[in-house]
Amino acid sequence: MDASDLLRNSLLQLSKQEKIRDVIEKAPVSRSVVRRFVPGAERADVVGAASEIAASGRLSTIDYLGEDTTDIAQARHTRDAYVGLLTALRDQGLTEHGAVEVSLKLSALGQALPGDGNAIALDHAREICELAKQAGTTVTLDMEDHTTTDLTLDALRELRADFPTVGAVLQAYLYRTEADCRDLAHAGSRVRLCKGAYKEPESVAFQAGADVDKSYVRCLKILMQGEGYPMVASHDPRLVEIAGALAGQAGRDPRSFEYQMLYGIRPEEQKRIADRGDQMRVYIPYGQEWYGYLMRRMAEKPANVMFFLRGVATKS
């Protein structure tokens, strides 16, 4: 295990440490740094951020932070947060033609609830998808740890029966993902390919960063050569360049795929990609549950640590 892999594993462990979370959340500098990457806790904060991004020619997808919900009231609260968010976005004229969409975690909608958790989460997701459709936009189902992959893909199939534009997320660090890409590289299918941000065992996932990168390229090649709509979620300049080359080799129109990056990371590169005529979508998280999100984003690519540390030193 090299230094970057050790750092990644350490950060994933930190994402679950409640005592450390309490210390970091109470540190005065944390809030100012976090605001660079999470625009705020309230709906107005994220709608304002989405408006600024739209004005710069970029698209966006919004995630209301929270997962592993084991309380039905919290699951309903998350559903209601998305309903209110989509209503506000529609009223601001931000949802037309999918300019701003939303990303959902099924665990936040009640998937882990005892008994009928899967059915509850799916019903909540349907309500959100219906409102998104009415608003002129769509939904992407975020992927979580490997134990929920099949459940999420099952939910995807059910939702797509009524809402065919619902997007999927696949994680390149899982061994199974090449096969999943082949299954989902069909016409009308929207697939966000990311590296993966959860701590997974060696039995199901590549552990070394170099192996994850190689898997990402193999998966991306399948998606670019398919008939679906690839969404290239990476900040890695080399992978972004490879994505453009693969799109060119496949004869893809710039409107037939998009790049995605996280809010607050490489914003100037995001604008450059949009300005050259390619589609760039920004993943914007908001809400109180920012700690786990922040740690997993740093772990996903240890170089992201430098972006966050620069946030401590500068506001530029």
pLDDT of residue 214: 98
d(CA 77, CA 28): 28
**Per-residue pLDDT tens over the stretch 155-189:** 999 999 999 999 999 999 999 999 999 999 999 99
pTM of the model: 0.86
Nearest to 132 by CA among 186, 88, 76, 78: 88
- Which residues belong to the active site? 142, 192
pLDDT of residue 66: 80
Helix axes 72-91, 117-135, angle to 10 degrees: 10
d(CA 167, CA 56): 24
Average the pLDDT over each of 158-172, 265-279, 292-306 and give the range with the smallest value: 292-306
**Per-residue pLDDT tens over the stretch 6-20:** 545 554 555 455 565
pLDDT of residue 304: 55
Q: What are the beta bridge partners of residue 281?
A: 59, 260
C-alpha dihedral sign at 148, 149, 153, 156: positive
Quick check: 49 and 284 in contact, CB under 8 A? Answer: yes
